[in-house]
């Protein structure tokens, strides 16, 4: 029996988020430069997307470039930006054909113009599709997003459009870049690191975490299925005790 058959598809996560890590180490182990690893990482993006489609996942959110990643050597930053542009322009036909909705979260305006144009065109072209939504986190950080949300709410209060008493979870969620997307039930991080690195801090309040030692370029469909099986072995209690969950069932 393959790993996929062991998964209870009815109860598979509807939203999976991934911190794709380990491209640099994977390349360096082979005596190659870091960009070689990022290039191979694109194949793992394909694998993860196909696996998520097979599971019937509705949203797959990938941490492709954080606001902190600008501090990397210029050559690497340029390489990643070119890779993004090339990948999206090469793959958009295929993604569109397989009914994928391409979307972004993050500060797109801070990206090189060509990257903005390519991403905006891909999002526009695929927005009416009905399959899985692939959210690429680009120039994204959760703290940036929360600062923005705070500013926006403060502005509305100052303009008299909102009362302080009306600020609740929902009001904050509406200001996040994930506002129309349910929170991820599962967050995966590859490469043996056990950190969140400023990713979706608000949205992962109740997510299950799956950490794997696999480096991102080695990540295959079965690695995503293993993460989902791990997720399904957990009991999600949302602050309740086990007995309360049994009564609810």
Q: Which of 77, 81, 83, 108 binds ligand FPP (CB under 6 A)?
A: 83
Q: What is the 3-state secondary structure (H, E, C) of the chain?
A: CCHHHHCCHHHCCCEEEEECCCHHHHHHHCCCCHHHHHHHHHHHHHHHHHHHHHHCCCEEEEEEEEHHHHHCCHHHHHHHHHHHHHHHHHHHHHHHHCCCEEEEECCHHHCCHHHHHHHHHHHHHHCCCCCCEEEEEEEECHHHHHHHHHHHHHHHHHCCCCCHHHCCHHHHHHHCCCCCCCCCCEEEECCCCCCCCCCCCCCCCCCEEEECCCCHHHCCHHHHHHHHHHHHCCCCCCCCCHHHHHHHC
* 21 in contact with ligand FPP (CB under 6 A): yes
* 103 in contact with ligand FPP (CB under 6 A): no
* 25 in contact with ligand FPP (CB under 6 A): yes
* 96 in contact with ligand FPP (CB under 6 A): no
* 87 in contact with ligand FPP (CB under 6 A): yes
> Which of 39, 69, 82, 198 does the annotation list as catalytic?
69
Q: Which is nearer to ligand FPP, 33 or 166 (CB)?
A: 33
Segment 128 to 167, residues that bind ligand FPP, using CB under 6 A: 136
Segment 190 to 219, residues that bind ligand FPP, using CB under 6 A: 191, 216
Q: Is 213 a catalytic residue?
A: no
Residue nearest to ligand FPP as judged by C-beta position: 24
Stretch that binds ligand FPP, among 82-90, 101-109, 111-119, 163-171 (CB under 6 A): 82-90
Q: Is 21 a catalytic residue?
A: yes
Contact positions toward ligand FPP, by CB under 6 A?
20-25, 34, 38, 41-42, 45, 62, 64, 69, 80, 83-84, 87, 136, 191, 216
Task: Catalogue the active-site residues.
Answer: 21, 69
């Amino acid at each position: 029996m393959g790993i996929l058959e062991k998964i209870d598809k009815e109860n598979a996560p509807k939203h999976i988020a991934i911190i794709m890590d380990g491209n640099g180490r994977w390349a360096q182990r082979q005596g190659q430069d870091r960009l070689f690893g990022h290039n191979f990482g694109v194949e793992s993006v394909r694998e993860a997307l196909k696996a998520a489609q097979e599971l019937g996942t509705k949203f797959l959110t990938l941490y492709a470039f954080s606001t902190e990643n600008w501090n990397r050597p210029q050559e690497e930053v340029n390489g990643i930006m070119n890779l993004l542009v090339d990948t999206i322009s090469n793959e958009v036909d295929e993604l569109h054909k397989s009914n994928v909705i391409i979307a972004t979260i993050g500060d797109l305006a801070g990206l090189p113009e060509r990257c903005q144009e390519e991403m905006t065109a891909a999002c526009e072209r695929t927005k009416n599709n009905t399959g899985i939504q692939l959210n690429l986190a680009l120039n994204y950080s959760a703290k940036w997003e929360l600062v923005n949300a705070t500013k926006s709410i403060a502005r509305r209060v100052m303009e008299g459009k909102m009362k302080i008493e009306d600020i609740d979870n929902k009001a904050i969620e509406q200001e996040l870049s994930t506002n129309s997307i349910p929170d991820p039930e599962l967050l995966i991080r590859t490469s043996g690191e056990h950190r969140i690195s400023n990713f979706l801090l608000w949205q992962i309040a109740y997510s299950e975490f799956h950490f794997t030692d696999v480096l991102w370029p080695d990540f295959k469909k079965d690695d995503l299925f293993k993460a989902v099986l791990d997720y399904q072995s957990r009991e999600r209690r949302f602050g309740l005790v086990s007995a309360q969950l049994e009564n609810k069932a």
